[in-house]
């Protein structure tokens, strides 16, 4: 396959690129290297692919229809993996217009370019945030998802609805994958596990919001790329699928795992819950298992240890 991968220079995108190239696919990576976090990190992510003849990096924005039309015309991509998005729940509360412009208008721009080019296959990244503070756990794809708690969540749900419209009207095969808090080597520096690890290892306090009982269903990066690859191979009609670890952990217990993996004690600065945050996430992955054969394999304790070991190596903190 020849795949247009949006957001391909990011954390998930660069891990996925490695897998796709190893499988023999051609990857056209489109990324605007925005400044949500240091673009140097993204350039480092993709440097490893620069000599691969099946890889091409294009710096550009998903809202640029002229560019998208040219990419489809020039490179003949047959499948789109759409990971590009403005990320982050809390920042979206401060700038909702930007989040809707990128995550909704950007998705619409891609769908329209696909329609004009006759491309009908897409795997799209959605988010567990669309469930809001659902009372019933675990979260299932049939839940209403009509009470988002942040502009980010609302923008991701809106993108799912757009995808369904293009399936219904134009016969697109689209799978929307609801990712549950992705972590692992190379993850974004502002994410909790990355921040906590850095600060604990350097003897700095970490800020925890709430009382420590909030829980997240963390998903190791290898399980996420496994789910995307499975979805690509099983594109048929319209699907919404949870891609998660299906094993939530409380904030307190997460910090304990990081303490154990680092051998350090965390200094904690407790703060009130933040607007837009949810109490818990918990993925029911039975539908993804049935439809595409997805099954998470990395437990949170294993994943935290892998991440901490990677972090130490990267920052030369390994003790003799």
Strands 79-82 and 238-243: what pairing? unpaired
Q: Residue by residue, what is the 3-state secondary structure of 87-133? A: CCHHHHHHCHHHHHHHHHHHHHHHHHHHHHHCCCEEEEEEEHHHHCC
Report whether pLDDT(155) > 80. yes
CB atoms near residue 90 (< 10 Å): 14
* Whole-number pLDDT of residue 91: 92
Residue with tokens 């699928």: 241
pLDDT tens digits, 186-242: 998 889 999 999 999 999 999 999 889 999 999 999 999 999 999 999 999 999 999
Distance (Å, rounded) from C-alpha 130 to C-alpha 23?
Answer: 32
pLDDT tens digits, 108-150: 999 999 999 999 999 999 999 999 988 889 999 999 999 999 9
pLDDT tens digits, 248-270: 999 999 999 999 999 999 999 99
152 is catalytic: yes
CB atoms near residue 40 (< 10 Å): 9
Query: In the structure, what pLDDT confidence band is assigned to residue 317 with cuts at 50, 70 and 90?
Result: low
Q: Tell me which of 99, 131, 152, 183 is the catalytic residue.
A: 152
Strands 215-216 and 249-250: what pairing? antiparallel
Helix axes 192-201, 300-314, angle to 10 degrees: 60
Query: In the structure, what pLDDT confidence band is assigned to residue 275 with cuts at 50, 70 and 90?
Result: confident
First to last CA, the chain: 45
pLDDT tens digits, 80-106: 999 999 998 889 999 999 999 999 999
What would the DSSP string read from start to end of the chain? -EEEEETTTSHHHHHHHHHHHHTT-EEEEEE---TTS-HHHHHHHHHTTTT-TTEEEEE--TT-HHHHHHHHHHH---EEEE------HHHHHH-HHHHHIIIIIHHHHHHHHHHHHT--EEEEEEEGGGG-S-SSSSB-TTS-----SSHHHHHHHHHHHHHHHHHHHH--EEEEEEE--EESTT--TTSHHHHHHHHHHTT-EEEEESSS--EE--EEHHHHHHHHHHHHHT--SEEEEEES-S--EEHHHHHHHHHHHHT-PPEEEEEPPPTT--SB--B--HHHHHHH-------HHHHHHHHHHHHHHHTT----
Distance (Å, rounded) from C-alpha 268 to C-alpha 277?
Answer: 19
Question: Mean pLDDT score of the chain, rounded to an integer?
Answer: 95
What would the DSSP string read from start to end of 45-80? HHHTTTT-TTEEEEE--TT-HHHHHHHHHHH---EE
Report whether pLDDT(320) > 50. no
Report whether pLDDT(312) > 90. yes
- Read off the tokens for 3: 């795949």
CATH topology of domain 2-184+218-245+282-297: Rossmann fold (3.40.50)
CA-to-CA separations, 243 to 43, 126, 281, 287, 294, in angstroms, rounded:
27, 10, 12, 10, 8
């Amino acid at each position: 396959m020849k795949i247009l991968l949006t957001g391909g220079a990011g954390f998930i995108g660069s891990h996925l690129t490695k897998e796709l190239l190893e499988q023999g696919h051609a990857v056209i990576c489109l990324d605007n290297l925005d400044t949500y976090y240091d673009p140097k990190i993204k350039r480092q992510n993709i440097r490893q692919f620069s000599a691969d003849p099946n890889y091409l990096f294009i710096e550009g924005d998903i809202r640029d229809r002229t560019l998208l039309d040219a990419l489809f015309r020039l490179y003949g991509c047959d499948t789109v993996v759409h990971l590009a998005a403005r990320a982050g729940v809390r920042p979206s509360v401060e700038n909702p217009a930007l989040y809707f412009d990128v995550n909704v208008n950007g998705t619409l721009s891609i769908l329209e370019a696909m329609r004009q080019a006759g491309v009908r296959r897409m795997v799209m990244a959605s988010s567990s945030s669309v469930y809001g503070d659902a009372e019933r756990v675990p979260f299932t794809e049939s839940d209403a998802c009509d009470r988002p708690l942040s502009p980010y969540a609302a923008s991701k749900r809106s993108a799912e609805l757009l995808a369904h419209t293009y399936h219904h009207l134009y016969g697109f095969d689209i799978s929307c994958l609801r990712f549950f808090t992705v972590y692992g080597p190379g993850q974004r520096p502002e994410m909790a596990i990355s921040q906590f690890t850095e600060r604990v290892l350097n003897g700095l306090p970490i800020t925890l919001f709430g009382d420590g009982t909030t829980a997240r269903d963390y998903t190791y990066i290898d399980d996420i790329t496994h789910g995307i690859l499975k979805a690509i191979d099983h594109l048929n009609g319209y699907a919404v699928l949870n891609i998660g670890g299906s094993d939530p952990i409380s904030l307190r217990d997460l910090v304990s795992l990081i303490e154990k993996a680092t051998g350090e004690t965390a200094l904690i600065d407790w703060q009130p819950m933040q607007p837009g945050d949810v109490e818990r996430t918990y993925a029911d992955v039975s539908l993804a298992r049935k439809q595409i054969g997805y099954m998470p394999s990395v437990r949170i304790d294993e994943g935290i240890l892998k991440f901490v070991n990677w972090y130490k190596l990267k920052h030369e903190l390994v003790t003799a």
